[in-house]
Chains A and B, each alone.
Chain A
């Protein structure tokens, strides 16, 4: 028997071979509207792993509020790694999606990723994936679409509003493309043009986003404008978004819980554990190489140092030199537990990992990717607000300096602002109102 997708009219079509004649026949089941379960299709941006973690947390909260809600995930690697581990249901059409994470890796060079241009050059991937999404949504009788930075859905539903089905929730943790200074006037023109198009989309079709959720708070928004003659980002966002507060996806341990967490992870009290992590997108090899080169210098000054390098699901740990006392791992499920238990972390400038460290109040060094406007402006602004982390320029930092910073910061207390722990529940409540 071969079950096919519902056809969008509530029908589930099944083809089976007649047991007597062997002739293939088709049967159709139509489910009465009142008898259909509530269904949501969840899209989680696969550029990095951060979205997956928070989206799983939101989905769990949403199911708590609506236990009958069925959630399908239209998802790509590496998001699927997290979803598989969490037992979430991945829609079979996911296999048709072109991989955005692989595109981002192809756009990166060393510790540099011009993410605005990478996103522009992702146009054919976005339209290909949107077409998959649209088929899924037309066949699936979904009540709700939740898109965490699902750029394709947001853009093409505004460009083709007649295609919208169900209620639509848009999530993002930054608002506004910002030009890098060395891009000059042309890049400022381009980012302003993209921002202007987005603003026009929302003005013309306010009903395409039934709910827009900013993952953060008002102060987290940069004090910039969308560009020349365009509104201030914070003012505009205030008018067009609801705020969930930050969504960590986990509750950081109290200080008195840390020793048992460390013990559970195999970290001893008499060692200084430094976790090096570069997220899930596959960009980060250059930073790992530099930190690995710093390791012997740091270890010499700090004999109790133990370094755990987490390369993520898209970088092979075997690609780096083995050194005594240095541990290289690929994908680590529940990496945040290691971050909560460490004495120091060294990471890229991605929002999720740095905010996990801010929430867990661990000292950390972070290196924004070159030309990555989100990491250099939006994330940095937010971390400064929390007073969290030490920002270093990858190009201006050599292994000696990294080793020195490890010595200064490992195991030292920090005083960051508190990060809320109810973000997922707040976001889920904002979504649940639509059901």
Chain B
């Protein structure tokens, strides 16, 4: 059973893709919980929604490729601009003028575009473990060859389009292990694994290729254009996107940085209490 259920839900169709969204609670400001990579649906916010909805209006949606949303197969359907446009369409459908935008991992890329290009719709931005390609990728990830056919790939080499077509569950098992580097994370790993297996390797490959447009220069440009208050939360034990990425983003966006020492890539799932309190505190400051 869920801890809370939406007060309303709906579907918006944009550019031929259906996007399923939910609205919870009431109160100002609205918190928009953005989707992350097309591996998991909006349920990855399950530890935040009931708490935040007691204090604010909360809107979230399944990112394209996940949950109840459509699963286009072309990479062009998965650019940061597409996700940002989905967010605007959901805000319009839910009657939300402006929101505090909270993102996790590569949700940062859509949050940056949204905040830079539509400053009137973004009251503040919280970035959790952001994908911010402003610094080199973690050393252990530099073995990735996404488009090449590899014999018996291991570790991060399994981050590979061909491997995903034939060994998607094996990749999910590897990736969830890197997502949660904290001991005693069996439940979080099970949750993400279950959600990830609702989609497929081909869809995820399209989602990955769609993001190749996001390079250091583009990210830096967007981050520097952010005019709203910014909070970056990043764990030192993040084995997917290094802590240096969060640090660099906070620097570019002139934001505050909260370092979670020892935390992995999904602290909102593994350390939900601290993350909830940080989001609440940030939104309360906007409210004042």
Contacts and interface: CB of A to CB of B under 8 A. Distances in A.
A120 B187 contact: yes
Contacts of A265: none
Interface stretch (A123-131, A300-308, A346-354): A123-131
A131 B276 contact: yes
Nearest to A102: B1
Most-contacted residue by chain A among B1, B46, B51 (CB, 10 A): B1
A103 interface: yes
B187 A127 contact: no
Interface in B144-190: 183-184, 186-187
Contact of A125 (B1, B271, B274): B1
Contact of A156 (B4, B54, B273): B273
Contacts of B2: 124
B1 A127 contact: no
B50 A128 contact: yes
B3 interface: yes
Given A124-B3, A125-B1, A127-B51, A160 B186 contact: no
A159 B270 CA distance: 10
B273 A131 contact: yes
B47 to A, nearest CB: 5
A103 B46 CA distance: 15
Contacts of B229: none
B119 interface: no
Contacts of A272: none
Nearest to A125: B3
Interface residues of B, number: 18
A107 B2 CA distance: 12
A106 B271 CA distance: 26
Contacts of A224: none
A128 B184 contact: no
Given A128-B4, A130-B273, A197 B184 contact: yes
A163 B276 CA distance: 13
Interface in B184-230: 184, 186-187
A124 B50 contact: yes
Interface in A183-208: 190, 193-194, 196-197
A96 interface: yes
A202 to B, nearest CB: 14
Chain B interface secondary structure, helix, strand, loop or mixed?
loop
B273 to A, nearest CB: 5
Contacts of B184: 193-194, 196-197
A134 to B, nearest CB: 8
Given A102-B1, A128-B4, A193-B184, A159 B273 contact: yes
A106 B1 CA distance: 6
B198 to A, nearest CB: 17
A232 interface: no
Interface residues of A, number: 26
Nearest to A194: B184
A44 to B, nearest CB: 19
Contacts of B68: none
Q: Is the interface of A mostly helix, strand, loop or mixed?
A: helix
Contacts of A129: 3
B186 A190 contact: yes
Nearest to A198: B184
Contacts of B50: 98, 124, 127-128, 131
A123 B272 CA distance: 10
Contacts of A107: 1
Between B2, B3, B272, B273, the greatest number of chain A beta carbons within 10 A of the residue's beta carbon is seen for: B3
Contacts of B1: 102-103, 106-107, 125
A120 B189 CA distance: 12
B186 A128 contact: no
Contacts of A96: 54
A377 B287 CA distance: 52
Contacts of A163: 273
Given A96-B54, A120-B187, A193-B184, A128 B273 contact: no
Interface in B11-55: 46-47, 50-51, 54
A76 to B, nearest CB: 12
B4 A160 contact: no
A124 B47 contact: yes
Interface string B53-93: 01000000000000000000000000000000000000000
Contacts of A103: 1
Contacts of A123: 47, 187
Nearest to A152: B273
Nearest to A132: B54
Interface in A92-131: 96, 98, 102-103, 106-107, 120, 123-125, 127-131
Contacts of A156: 273
A313 B184 CA distance: 36
14 contacts: A102-B1, A123-B47, A124-B3, A124-B47, A127-B47, A127-B51, A127-B273, A129-B3, A131-B50, A134-B273, A159-B271, A160-B274, A193-B186, A196-B184
Given A130-B273, A131-B51, 12 more contacts: A107-B1, A124-B46, A124-B47, A127-B3, A127-B51, A128-B3, A128-B50, A128-B51, A129-B3, A131-B273, A160-B274, A194-B184
